[in-house]
Amino acid sequence: MDDRTDLVFINASNPTHFRDQNVRRTIRRRAMRDIGKARRKAKNPPAVTFTWQPLEPPVPCLDSYPRPWPGGIDSDPRSRELIHFMHADAEYNYRPFRKVWFAMALSDQSAFILCKANAAMFLEKARLRDGDEFRYEHCAETLGYYGQCVREVTRRLSDPVDCVSEGVFTAILGLICHDLYVGTLDRWAYHIRGLARIVSMRGGIGDLDANLQLFACWFDVVGSVARDLPPQMPPASVYLDGLATYAEGKQTCGMRLDGILDDIRNMQSSEDTDIYCLVGILERMAALAGFVNEHSSREPGFWKSEDDMRPLRLLGPVTHDLLSMPRANPCTFNGFQVIREMARLVILILLGGVKTKYGMSAPEINTLQTKLSTLVLVTAKRQMVLPFPLLQLWCLVVAALLASGPARKMYVQEISSHIKGINIPDGTGAVAAARDVIWIEDLASADTISFLIFDIDMVYTDEQR
């Protein structure tokens, strides 16, 4: 109804208008309409019914996701402060496997104590003023947490069940990781022997979490290669070997490497039967180079992905194989043993270069370079003619690219002398031949390669005069 029909004009000085029937009817109609609206019930909104239906099969619970402060993990103010620092530190500093290790630390009380030791150490480093040197032996809080963790693990090792548990295994791995970081290799050797004994008592590590298996094998070879000693742990299972999967159905070898492999396979000499193991190792290194060259060129941040476990799968198994190879005796070695040892040392140096690209330390490179330069020098003095000259050239070129100082100068001299006998005219040809064996692009810059070619040509020209 239009509101204008409800308007009634009344003369206040003439009360008879209030008694008019039409006026009274209009007033009553308007009043009753408002009362009726108030009494009328509002309509119910449309109802929607949901029915719960379980999925078949049910979605599994994410048990491996790290829960905050699980049972047994202390959450005192200092612990919270250290963990807060570790999270804040992630904004500024790259630390390989940070989140993986933190998740593992939250799974066991003893391992968490070691996590606090690491956090206290990094916090102490962060507080240093420019020019100050970090002294591990002066970091009382870190040493206190480390000692507490050792005492806890020692107590748990007396329990016949707990001594082989994943928790104890994780805590000892944490101790080993800490030892490697601060460079206390004597402590590392003690703890890795204990871990190997636990593995023996368990009957292997195949039933452990995959990350535990990877770290156990990795920390074993990382400490072993620092002293060039055989590993303590059994090799990683095949399914943890990243190279085995990558190499399936791919052509990863260059033509010159194919020729080297064929020459080794067809070798009839019985002077060194151990040289046959080089075939598998060179094939794995070719697969590693192919993987790195392919992925580093198309994956931004390939070398600096904190929780990328591929480095352990790629580098660990082949390093284990190299450390398990027999060593050459300098007093009695022959040409086959020399080239085998030369290739072994160069590949370990090459793997050290890959580790540094991934942001990990590789202190073993200096030791391995010293061993290699000594071997090359002794071979040159004895004027030994080695088998597989292309493999020898590859070893010398790679060693020269990754060396400095007197060792590099000696390698350049040997390359210049060596290429005369294999019909390679200059430094460019020498580097091209090495590229066609095994080559990782990111390990040497274009300038480094150019300088090497220039130095080879200079020495070669001087020798021709």
Q: In this predicted model, what pLDDT tens digit does every residue of 333-361 receive, in sequence order?
A: 888 999 999 999 999 999 999 999 999 99
Q: Which two tokens stand for residue 246?
A: 């990558």
Tens digits of residue pLDDT in 5-47: 556 666 656 666 666 777 777 777 776 676 666 666 556 655 5
209 and 248 fall within a common domain = no
**Cα 183 to Cα 172, 188, 231, 369, distances in angstroms:** 16, 9, 18, 19
The answer to whether residue 58 sits within a structural domain is no
409 and 265 fall within a common domain = yes
84 and 177 fall within a common domain = yes
Closest CA to 371 of 222, 228, 241, 205: 228
**Cα 347 to Cα 157, 317, 330, 350, 351, distances in angstroms:** 38, 13, 19, 5, 6
Q: What pLDDT shows up at residue 342?
A: 97
Residue 463 burial (CB < 10 Å; 0-12/13-18/19+)? exposed
Q: How far is CA 115 from the centre of its chain?
A: 18
Buried b / exposed e over 265-284, threshold 16 CB at 10 Å, is eebeeeebeebebbeebbbb
Neighbours of 71 (CB within 10 A): 6
362 and 229 fall within a common domain = no
**Cα 24 to Cα 6, 261, 371, distances in angstroms:** 11, 116, 119
CB 139 within 8 A of CB 121: yes
The answer to whether residue 50 sits within a structural domain is no
101 and 195 fall within a common domain = yes
197 and 133 fall within a common domain = yes
275 and 359 fall within a common domain = yes
DSSP one-letter code for 19: G
- Percentage of residues in the chain with pLDDT exceeding 90? 56
361 and 269 fall within a common domain = yes
Neighbours of 368 (CB within 10 A): 24
Neighbours of 145 (CB within 10 A): 23
The answer to whether residue 40 sits within a structural domain is no
CB 296 within 8 A of CB 442: yes
341 and 298 fall within a common domain = yes
Distance CA 68, CA 89 (A): 19
**Cα 119 to Cα 103, 184, 252, distances in angstroms:** 14, 18, 42
The answer to whether residue 254 sits within a structural domain is yes
286 and 312 fall within a common domain = yes
In which domain, by residue range, is 145 found? Answer: 77-240
The answer to whether residue 323 sits within a structural domain is yes
Distance CA 427, CA 452 (A): 8
The amino acid present at 275, given as its one-letter code, is I
Neighbours of 37 (CB within 10 A): 8
Q: Which two tokens stand for residue 186?
A: 């004597």
Closest CA to 206 of 240, 257, 249, 255: 240
Query: How confident is the prediction for the chain on average, in pLDDT?
Result: 85
pTM of the complete model: 0.81
Kindly state the average pLDDT of the residues 295-316. 90
Closest CA to 387 of 436, 430, 427, 422: 422
Tens digits of residue pLDDT in 40-95: 655 665 555 555 555 555 444 434 434 444 445 667 888 888 888 888 888 888 88
Q: Which domain-ending residue is among 191, 222, 240?
A: 240
Q: Report whether pLDDT(376) > 70.
A: yes
CB 396 within 8 A of CB 342: no
The answer to whether residue 44 sits within a structural domain is no
CB 364 within 8 A of CB 345: no
Distance CA 177, CA 175 (A): 5
Buried b / exposed e over 307-329, threshold 16 CB at 10 Å, is ebbebbbbbbbbbbbbbebeebe
Kindly state the average pLDDT of the residues 414-431. 93
Distance CA 129, CA 151 (A): 33
Tens digits of residue pLDDT in 104-160: 988 899 999 999 999 999 998 888 877 678 888 889 999 999 999 999 999 999 999
Collapsing DSSP states into helix, strand and coil, what is residue 231?
coil
Q: Which domain-ending residue is among 223, 240, 257?
A: 240
168 and 259 fall within a common domain = no
**Cα 25 to Cα 8, 20, 29, 32, 243, distances in angstroms:** 11, 9, 6, 10, 98
Distance CA 395, CA 398 (A): 5
Indicate the number of domains in the chain.
Answer: 2
234 and 303 fall within a common domain = no
The answer to whether residue 2 sits within a structural domain is no
Q: Which domain-ending residue is among 205, 224, 240?
A: 240
The answer to whether residue 18 sits within a structural domain is no
Collapsing DSSP states into helix, strand and coil, what is residue 411?
helix
Closest CA to 217 of 303, 314, 287, 341: 314
Q: Which of the pair, 275 or 168, is modelled with greater confidence?
A: 168
Tens digits of residue pLDDT in 232-261: 988 876 556 767 666 665 666 678 999 999
DSSP one-letter code for 254: -
CB 418 within 8 A of CB 393: yes
